[in-house]
Chain A
Amino acid sequence: MNDMTPVAKTLPKDWETDQEVRWCPGCGDYAILKAVQRTMPEIGARPENTVFVSGIGCSSRFPYYMETYGFHTIHGRAPAVATGVKLANPDLDVWIITGDGDALSIGGNHTMHLIRRNLDCQVLLFNNEIYGLTKGQYSPTSHVGTRSPSTPFGSLDRPLTPCAFVLGSGARFVARAIDVNKNLPAVLKAAYAHKGTGFVEIFQNCIVYNDDVFAPFTEKANASASQLWVEQGKPLLFAGGTKGLTLDTEKLVLKVVDVVDGDWAAAHVIVHDQTNRAVAHMLVEMPFGPFPMALGVLYDDPAPTFESAVVAQNAQASAGKKPDLQKLLSQGQTWQVEKQPHSM
C-alpha cells in the first residue's frame, strides 16, 4: 500500500505558544527555544504526540513556550516523571528539559538511573554553570573559585563534567552544543533519531549571573581554535584544519598535533567513530586550554531501550493468562462455609 498522502508538515511557528516568554533579555534559552522549534518540523514531530517534561530552573520554564503537551514538575525529578509518562504510553515523544543544578545536583540520582535504564527520550541539559532562577548560586558544574551569593569567597568543590557523568552511567548517546551556535538543530535531530536516551549538553549563557563564562571557546575570536566539532567518519580537526587530535600511544591519552598542508593522515589524526566509547570518554574529559572543547555528536551507539523491554516483558508475562479478577480473588486455599457456624 503506497500511502501518498503526505503528513501535514508543521512550521516552526506552529510550535510557539501564546505565552509571553519571560527569560532575561539575551538569555541563551531563547536561542535554544528557537532551535528546538526549528527542529520539530524537520524531524516530522507531531505536536499532539510530543511531551516536554521539565524540572525546576530557568531551563525548566521551557515547556510553557512549546505548543505541545508539557509537564513542569519538581526540582530534579523530571526523569522520574518522564519515565512514568513513557512507560504509560511508549508512543509519545518525550523530551526532558533540565539544567546543571536540576539534573546534576538534586537530580543527579534520577539522571543516573534514567541513563542507566536507557529510556527512549531526549534530555536537553542547559548548562550555564550557575543557578539562575534562584539568583546566582554556584552549581555542580561551576569552576572552582566561583564567587556567588552562597560562596562569597569562591566555591571549593570540584565540578562535574556532565558528559563524563552520563557516559559513566552507561549513556549510549552523548552530544554537546552551544546555545547560539548554528549546529544545534543538527545535534537535536541526531538525538531524536537515536533510539534510547539522547543526552545533549548545551552550553547556555546566563547573561545575568554568569555572563560569558564560555567565552574562552564561544567568543568569535576564540571559536575556531578552541571548538572541535566532531563528525562521524571525519578526522578530529580544529583551528581551521591546522590542528588535530591523535592518541599518544605511550601514555594512552589524547594529544594535540599540528596538521600540515591538510595532511591529517600523516599526523595520525583520529577519525571520529561515534561508536567508540573509550574515545568518547577521552573527548569529554579533555582539559580545556591545552585541548579544545569537543562538540557535536560525541557518542552514538544504540542499545535496547527500557520501555521496550518493559512492554515486551509485560506481554510475555501475560501470555496465555486471562485477567479474571473473580478467579484471582478466589485464589489460594479456600473453604466453603455451608451454613451458619456456631457463633461465639
Chain B
Amino acid sequence: MASAVHELTPAEASANPPAESIVVRFAGDSGDGMQLTGGQFTLSTALAGNDLATFPDFPAEIRAPQGTLFGVSAFQINFGSTAIDTAGDVPDVLIAMNPAALKTNVDALKAGGLIIADEGEFGERNLAKAKYAANPLHDGSLAKWQLLAFNISQLTLDAVKPFGLGNKEALRCKNMWTLGLALWMFDRDRQPIVDWLKAKFAKMPVLAEANIAALNAGHAYGETAELAGPMKQHHVAAAPAEPGLYRTVTGAESISLGLVAGAQLAGVKMFFGGYPITPASAILHHLSRLKEFGITTFQAEDEIAAIASAIGASYAGQLGVTSSSGPGIALKGEAMGLAIMTELPLVIINSQRGGPSTGLPTKTEQSDLYQAVYGRNGDAPMPVIAARSPADAFDCAIEAVRIAVQYMTPVMLLTDGYIANAAEPWLVPNMDDYAPFPVTYLETVPEGGFLPYARDEKRARPWVKPGTPGLLHRIGGIEKQLGTGNIEYGAANHQAMTEMRRDKVLGIDVPDQEVELGEAGGKLAIVGWGSTFGPIHQAVRRARKKGLDVSHIHIRHIWPLPGNLGALLKGYDKIIVPEMNTGQLKTVLRDQFLVDARPLNKISGQPFMISEIEAAIEEALA
C-alpha cells in the first residue's frame, strides 16, 4: 500500500525497470561506523564483479555529538554491470541509522527510492536533535519513497546477547547487522567480511564473533523475516519521465482501479466474485470498499462459486469478474469452459505464484501461461493478456474489460505476485484520455426474429438481460446450434461452432506488436512477457550501450498474438525468451510461427537478475 507509514508488507520493492546501476547510501552517526560498513560493502561488491565507485561523506568533526545533523556520516556506492564513472547522482537506497541521517540525506534520494531506517533510534531525543517535529516514519512525510523501518538496534542486541558485551559495544555491532542485511539485499557473499572481521579483531575474538553474529543475523533477517522475494534483487523504479501528478501504486491496487475504470468506460456495473488466496486477495479487498461505484463484491464459499456467481451476474447483464492465483484458477477451469460455450463476458485475473500445486504462495513466477492459453477441456480458446508492471496493469485491466464485453468472451489477465505486491510511482492517468466503449444490450426483437447466437461483425452474440420481454431464451454448456443456440449434437454443426469460437478469438482486434528497444530485425531479439520487463529492458539497454545488436520485444497480448508478430520475429537471427517457467511462451511462439525461439528459464521464485540476461545476450552474440 502506498503510504508513508510502511506497514512492512514483506515483498515490497519496485517492480519496474531497474536503473542500470544501483546507488546505495549508508548514513548514520559518525560513531556508527558507516565508513566501515560502506567499505566492507564495497569490498563485497568488488568481489561480486561489479564495477563501482564510492563516495564517502565524512563530517568535518572527528567525532561530532551523537545524533546531530552535522554528525551524520554517509557512504555512497554506485555499482553496476557496466563501466561506472561516478558514484551516482542520486541514491536509490538510503540506509538511515538515525533521524539525523535521514534528515540530511533523504531529499537526495530519488522518488520511489528505498529507505531502510533503524526504528530503534527514532525516539524523541534523536528526533529533536534532528529537528523533526514529528516522527517521519509515521507522519506520512516519506510518502514518495518506499520505507522499511525495523528496530535494528534491538535486533542487533538480540543477536549479540550470547557474547555478553556491554550495551555500547553491543550497539556498535549495528553496522555489521546492517551490512549483513545489505549483503543479503544485493546477494553478496559474506565470507570476505567474516574473514576481515576475524583478522581485524584477532586479538579480541569475542568481538569478532559478536560482529560476525550480527552480520549473520542481519543477513538472516533479510532471508527469513518477511523480506522474501523482490527484496533480494533490488530493482529500483526508474525516475519518472514526465511531469504530472504521481502516486505510488501496487499491482493489486492498479488492477482494481483498472477494473473500475473499465466498467465505467463500458457503462456496466461490476460483479466481483472472489475467494481469499495469496497473493490475489488484495483485489477482493480493494473492490469491496468501492460500493459507490456500483460494484457488488461477493466472497464466495470457494473458488468455483466465485467464478460461477460472476458468470451468473454476467448472464444477468453485469460485468462478471473473478480473480485468484494458480491453484484457484485450476479449480475454475470447468466454469471458464461454460463461459466460453455460453459466450458471456467475464474477466479472470490470475496473480501467478510459484507452482505447481500449492507451490510457493509468496514467491513470484509466471508458470501459468499454458494454463491460461490451453487449460480447459475441449477446444476452448480464450484471450489472454499479461501485465508487465503495476502501472501497466491498470491499462491491461481496461483492455481485458473491453475485449470481454465487445467479444462476449471470458478474458484472462495474467499478473504475478511481484507485480501485485510491488509499489511503483505512477503518473496518475487522466480518464478523459480514455475512449469509452459503451455496451449495448439487445432490448427489442430484431427484424426477422431473435436468434440468441446471431453474430455481429466481431462474431459476438447479443447480450440480453433476463427481464427483457420478447427475448426469452435458454443457454447452457451443451453444444448449440449456430444462430438459434438450441441444443445441437450434429456433426457439421459442432465443426462449425468450434471453428466459430476459435475464429472469434483469433479475430480480436489486438494492436500490432511494437519493439520496446532496438530495431525491427537484427541479430538478436529478447522476447519477454509479464514482470520480466524490468530486467530484460535494462539488460538490453546495457548491451546496446556496448554496441551489441539486440532488441527488446515485450508481449502484452499472449492470445491471440499480434498479427505482425510472426513477421517481426522472423527478422531476427536469434530469439531468446527469458521466462520464470520452463519455457511456456517459447513453446507458443515456436508453435505459432515456426521460429527457433530459445528459452532462458529461471524458476527459483525470484525475478531475473539483469546480469543473467546480459550474460545470455553476450553468449548469443559471441
Residues of B within 8 A of A113 (CB): 300-301, 305
Cβ-defined contact, A339 with B243, below 8 A: yes
Cβ-defined contact, A53 with B312, below 8 A: yes
Cβ-defined contact, B247 with A332, below 8 A: yes
Q: A323-B294, A336-B245, A336-B246 are in contact. Are A83 and B305 (CB under 8 A)?
A: yes
- Residue from the list B291, B294, B428, B474 in contact with A69, Cβ < 8 A: B474
| Min distance, Cβ A309 to any Cβ of chain B, angstroms | 12
A2: Cβ under 8 A from any B Cβ: no
Cβ-defined contact, B257 with A333, below 8 A: no
B575: Cβ under 8 A from any A Cβ: no
Cβ-defined contact, A72 with B478, below 8 A: yes
Q: A73-B308, A82-B312, A84-B311 are in contact. Are A344 and B247 (CB under 8 A)?
A: no
A276: Cβ under 8 A from any B Cβ: no
Cβ-defined contact, B315 with A81, below 8 A: yes
B260: Cβ under 8 A from any A Cβ: yes
**CB-defined A-B contacts under 8 Å, sample of 21:** A48-B467, A70-B476, A81-B311, A83-B298, A84-B314, A87-B309, A88-B296, A89-B467, A113-B300, A323-B292, A325-B260, A325-B264, A326-B430, A329-B257, A329-B429, A333-B144, A337-B111, A337-B242, A337-B244, A342-B239, A344-B239
Instruction: Mark each residue of chain B from 298 to 335: 1 if its CB lies under 8 Å from any CB of chain A, else 0.
Output: 10111011001111111111101000000000000011
Residues of B within 8 A of A (CB): 1-4, 19-21, 89-90, 111, 140, 143-144, 238-249, 257, 260-261, 264, 269, 271, 273, 289-294, 296, 298, 300-302, 304-305, 308-318, 320, 334-335, 338, 342, 428-431, 465-478, 486-487
Cβ-defined contact, A338 with B248, below 8 A: no
A21: Cβ under 8 A from any B Cβ: no
Of A145-153, A277-285, A310-318, the segment with at least 4 beta carbons within 8 Å of chain B is: A310-318
Q: A80-B308, A110-B301, A344-B239 are in contact. Are A330 and B245 (CB under 8 A)?
A: yes
Residues of B within 8 A of A318 (CB): 291-292
Q: A63-B476, A72-B476, A344-B238 are in contact. Are A51 and B466 (CB under 8 A)?
A: yes
| Min distance, Cβ A89 to any Cβ of chain B, angstroms | 5
A1: Cβ under 8 A from any B Cβ: no
Q: A83-B298, A336-B244 are in contact. Are A329 and B428 (CB under 8 A)?
A: yes
Residues of A within 8 A of B311 (CB): 73, 81, 84
- Residue from the list A69, A92, A328 in contact with B473, Cβ < 8 A: A69
Cβ-defined contact, A48 with B338, below 8 A: no
Distance of A53 Cα from B477 Cα, bound (Å): 12
Distance of A191 Cα from B392 Cα, bound (Å): 50
Closest to B475 in A: A71
Q: A83-B309, A325-B260, A342-B89 are in contact. Are A333 and B3 (CB under 8 A)?
A: yes
Distance of A322 Cα from B294 Cα, bound (Å): 11
Cβ-defined contact, A74 with B318, below 8 A: no
Cβ-defined contact, A84 with B474, below 8 A: no
Cβ-defined contact, A70 with B474, below 8 A: yes
Residues of B within 8 A of A332 (CB): 1-3, 143, 247-249
Cβ-defined contact, B313 with A85, below 8 A: yes
Closest to B246 in A: A335
Question: Which has the most chain B C-beta neighbours within 10 Å: A54, A85, A314?
Answer: A85
Cβ-defined contact, A81 with B260, below 8 A: no
Cβ-defined contact, A341 with B472, below 8 A: no
Closest to B318 in A: A88
Cβ-defined contact, A71 with B312, below 8 A: yes
Cβ-defined contact, A330 with B247, below 8 A: yes
Residues of A within 8 A of B (CB): 17, 19, 47-49, 51-54, 63-64, 66-74, 77, 79-89, 91-92, 109-110, 112-113, 310, 313-314, 317-318, 321-323, 325-326, 328-344
Counted as pairs of residues, one from A and one from B, with CB atoms less than 8 Å apart, the total is 225
Q: A87-B271, A87-B298 are in contact. Are A70 and B475 (CB under 8 A)?
A: yes
Residues of B within 8 A of A342 (CB): 89-90, 239
Cβ-defined contact, B468 with A48, below 8 A: yes
Question: Which has the most chain A C-beta neighbours within 10 Å: B143, B264, B291, B487?
Answer: B291
Closest to B143 in A: A333
- Residue from the list A72, A91, A328 in contact with B260, Cβ < 8 A: A328
Distance of A68 Cα from B143 Cα, bound (Å): 56
Residues of B within 8 A of A54 (CB): 476
Known: A71-B474, A74-B338, A337-B243. 10 other contacts (CB 8 A): A48-B469, A77-B335, A79-B305, A84-B308, A110-B304, A112-B301, A323-B292, A340-B241, A341-B111, A342-B90
Residues of B within 8 A of A66 (CB): 474
Cβ-defined contact, B271 with A88, below 8 A: yes
Distance of A300 Cα from B305 Cα, bound (Å): 27
Residues of A within 8 A of B475 (CB): 70-72
Residues of B within 8 A of A51 (CB): 316, 466
Residues of B within 8 A of A337 (CB): 111, 240, 242-244, 246
Distance of A87 Cα from B580 Cα, bound (Å): 39
Cβ-defined contact, B467 with A91, below 8 A: yes
Residues of A within 8 A of B309 (CB): 80-81, 83-84, 87
Distance of A89 Cα from B431 Cα, bound (Å): 29
- Residue from the list B241, B289, B312, B335 in contact with A85, Cβ < 8 A: B312
Residues of B within 8 A of A85 (CB): 312-313, 315-316, 466
Distance of A291 Cα from B536 Cα, bound (Å): 75
Cβ-defined contact, B90 with A326, below 8 A: no
Distance of A73 Cα from B90 Cα, bound (Å): 58
Cβ-defined contact, A329 with B271, below 8 A: no
- Residue from the list A68, A112, A334 in contact with B246, Cβ < 8 A: A334
Q: A84-B320, A92-B316 are in contact. Are A335 and B261 (CB under 8 A)?
A: no
Distance of A328 Cα from B335 Cα, bound (Å): 32
Cβ-defined contact, A314 with B90, below 8 A: no
- Residue from the list B3, B140, B304 in contact with A77, Cβ < 8 A: B304
Q: A51-B466, A84-B310, A88-B313 are in contact. Are A72 and B474 (CB under 8 A)?
A: yes
Residues of A within 8 A of B90 (CB): 342, 344
Residues of A within 8 A of B316 (CB): 51, 84-86, 88-89, 92
Instruction: List 5 tightest A-B contacts by C-beta distance, closest first.
Output: A84-B312, A72-B476, A333-B143, A70-B474, A84-B309
Distance of A69 Cα from B471 Cα, bound (Å): 8
- Residue from the list A47, A77, A86 in contact with B472, Cβ < 8 A: A47
| Min distance, Cβ A233 to any Cβ of chain B, angstroms | 37
| Min distance, Cβ B475 to any Cβ of chain A, angstroms | 6
Cβ-defined contact, A325 with B431, below 8 A: yes
Distance of A332 Cα from B425 Cα, bound (Å): 12
Residues of A within 8 A of B317 (CB): 88-89
Cβ-defined contact, B257 with A328, below 8 A: yes
| Min distance, Cβ B245 to any Cβ of chain A, angstroms | 6
Distance of A342 Cα from B109 Cα, bound (Å): 12
Closest to A78 in B: B308
Residues of B within 8 A of A340 (CB): 241, 243
